[in-house]
């Protein structure tokens, strides 16, 4: 096992009978920082050399197993040991190793689990290899071990999508060996290990498994390569993932690992990786606004949308998809019928594609109400105006909202460039007025500019950011200026 590795405060070991329990405790999500890697390697060294240890249990403290790499290490020189070395030490141990997955086992966390000899999942576990979302590929054996466990098609799809599997799906895919009810990973893991030891279960290395139907798998990968080149135009890592899986089929395991590492380093040096990681950090920074931290959001249980054109309908759909009841206001019966048709058109398309049932569509539309009477929105919690881009028209709408809406209702405008301070001044409650600038189509586009006028209350800004979270949007705080950010 090499030279002694220093003990780590974030990885602890404890003997329970003849089982060495190795606990990763690096809050909040047990990210695989250098100290965790060092601790895991030291634990494997301890297990190898201690005759009292018959088996090893890997378990995460808190709410996750290991949720992936430590993002604070991105862009910095690597610190030994690198993760492939840790995974190799786990897999090469000559005593059974069980990983218990009770929360997120993502990226490098899942690669650690794939290196264990057995995997036990609890119902809340989620397993995935989402590196493609950062312009990367699994670089610690994920592209070599996952196809051996799941088959080429399932593993490649998992890596190209970046989407995690829930525990039951992971069991069916062969990614885990057993799923048990419960919430205590330590108790569940010890019980499972005792079963394995009683049955004299062998050390079972994922690297030694044969990939099923290799010729058919290679043919499928060739088709997938052409399809991926079309779907992922401009992205570097998806095709490199396919190359890695081809290596898993065509090369011995150790040579496949060398190929994976070389392609991982190519991805690491690509401009797409730099851009996607910049976006990753940026999306986490934009929600850290002073108002959202200083004030509690107001409750929003119902929404009104003023205007049923393309933008108003898209905003209504976004709110309906989030489970909120929506009242749409238009100027006459003909316009409200057109607004409803614009909303229904989105769901009709989903039904036609088989992505939504007619019953589900009916349930969503039951939360939609159309009206020509502003009095019908007197009790809603938040109003979004999406009428013609003319400041006098918008001021007239806001004077009407000021008249009918209950005290404390948030009054938002979807203007893309007009002066929101002037719109707010048309009301007697400028503290309640904010900009929510959606981008068309509003139910699909992720960006939501939250435009903060001079007199708005902090809890209204906090409410806007909370609404963005509910609508699954990426909120960006903007000041009042011509065109805000996106349109400048």
User: How many of the other CB atoms lie within 10 Å of CB of 235?
Assistant: 17
Burial class for 77, CB neighbours closer than 10 Å (0-12, 13-18, 19+)? exposed
User: Peptide bond preceding 16: is omega within 30 degrees of 0, i.e. cis?
Assistant: no
**Strand arrangement of the beta sheet that strand 126-128 belongs to:** 104-106, 126-128, 165-166
Per-residue CA distances from 173 to 167, 170, 364, 440 (Å):
10, 5, 33, 38
CB hemisphere CA count around 88 (13 angstroms): 13
Q: Is 243 a catalytic residue?
A: no
The burial class, CB within 10 Å (0-12 / 13-18 / 19+), for 68 is: buried
Reading the block at residue 13, the tokens are 């070991």
Which value, to the nearest 10 degrees, does the dihedral of the CA atoms of residues 313, 315, 319, 325 take? -50
Could you give the dihedral angle defined by the CA atoms of residues 410, 414, 418 and 419, in that order, rounded to the nearest 10 degrees? 10
Question: Are residues 145 and 231 in contact, defined by beta-carbon separation less than 8 angstroms?
Answer: no
| CA torsion, ordered 455, 459, 464, 470, to nearest 10 deg | -170
**Element housing 474 (H / E):** strand 474-479
Q: Is 85 a catalytic residue?
A: no
Selected catalytic residue, list 73, 85, 91, 111: 111
Q: How far apart are CA 171 and CA 153, in angstroms?
A: 16
| DSSP structural state of residue 66 | B
Assigned token pair, 379:
């009790």
Token representation of residue 134? 């950062």
List 73, 85, 91, 131, catalytic entry: 131
Exposed (0-12), middle (13-18) or buried (19+): which is 311, by Cβ within 10 Å? Answer: buried
Q: For residue 240, give both structure tokens.
A: 């490199």
Name the residues annotated as catalytic. 111, 131
């Amino acid at each position: 096992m090499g030279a002694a590795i220093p003990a780590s405060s974030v990885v602890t070991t404890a003997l329970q009978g003849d089982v060495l329990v190795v606990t990763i405790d690096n809050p909040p999500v047990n990210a695989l920082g250098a100290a965790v890697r060092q601790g895991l390697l030291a634990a494997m060294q301890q297990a190898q050399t201690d005759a009292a240890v018959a088996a090893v249990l890997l378990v995460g403290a808190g709410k996750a197993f290991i949720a992936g790499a430590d993002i604070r290490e991105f862009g910095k020189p690597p610190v030994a040991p690198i993760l492939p070395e840790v995974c190799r030490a786990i897999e090469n141990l000559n005593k059974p190793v069980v990983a218990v997955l009770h929360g997120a086992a993502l990226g490098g966390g899942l690669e650690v689990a794939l290196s264990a000899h057995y995997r036990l999942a609890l119902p809340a576990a989620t397993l995935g290899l989402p590196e493609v979302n950062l312009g990367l590929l699994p670089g610690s054996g994920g592209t070599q071990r996952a196809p051996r466990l799941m088959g080429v098609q399932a593993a490649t799809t998992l890596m190209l999508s970046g989407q995690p599997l829930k525990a039951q799906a992971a069991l069916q895919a062969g990614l885990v060996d057993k799923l048990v009810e419960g919430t205590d990973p330590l108790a569940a893991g010890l019980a499972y290990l005792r079963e394995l030891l009683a049955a004299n279960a062998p050390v079972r290395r994922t690297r030694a498994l044969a990939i099923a139907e290799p010729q058919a798998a290679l043919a499928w990968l060739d088709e997938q390569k052409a399809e991926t080149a079309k779907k992922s135009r401009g992205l570097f890592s998806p095709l490199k993932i396919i190359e890695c899986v081809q290596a898993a089929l065509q090369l011995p395991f150790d040579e496949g690992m060398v190929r994976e590492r070389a392609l991982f380093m190519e991805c690491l040096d690509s401009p797409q990786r730099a851009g996607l990681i910049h976006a990753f950090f940026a999306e986490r920074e934009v929600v850290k606004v002073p108002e959202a931290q200083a004030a509690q959001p107001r409750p929003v249980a119902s929404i009104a949308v003023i205007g049923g054109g393309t933008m108003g309908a898209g905003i209504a759909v976004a709110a309906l998809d989030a489970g909120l009841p929506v009242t749409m206001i238009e100027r006459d019966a003909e316009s409200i019928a057109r607004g409803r048709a614009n909303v229904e058109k989105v769901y009709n398309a989903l039904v036609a594609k088989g992505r939504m049932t007619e019953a589900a569509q009916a349930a969503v539309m039951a939360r939609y109400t159309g009206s020509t009477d502003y009095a019908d929105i007197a009790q809603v919690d938040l109003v979004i105006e999406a009428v013609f881009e003319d400041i006098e028209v918008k001021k007239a709408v806001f004077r009407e909202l000021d008249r009918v809406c209950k005290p404390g209702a948030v009054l938002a405008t979807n203007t893309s460039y007009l002066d929101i301070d002037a719109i707010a001044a048309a009301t007697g409650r400028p503290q309640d007025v904010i900009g929510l600038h959606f981008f068309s189509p509003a139910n699909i586009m992720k960006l939501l500019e939250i435009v903060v006028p001079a007199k708005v209350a902090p809890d209204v800004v906090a409410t806007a950011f909370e609404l963005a979270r509910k609508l699954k949007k990426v909120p960006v705080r903007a000041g009042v200026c011509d065109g805000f950010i996106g349109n400048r």
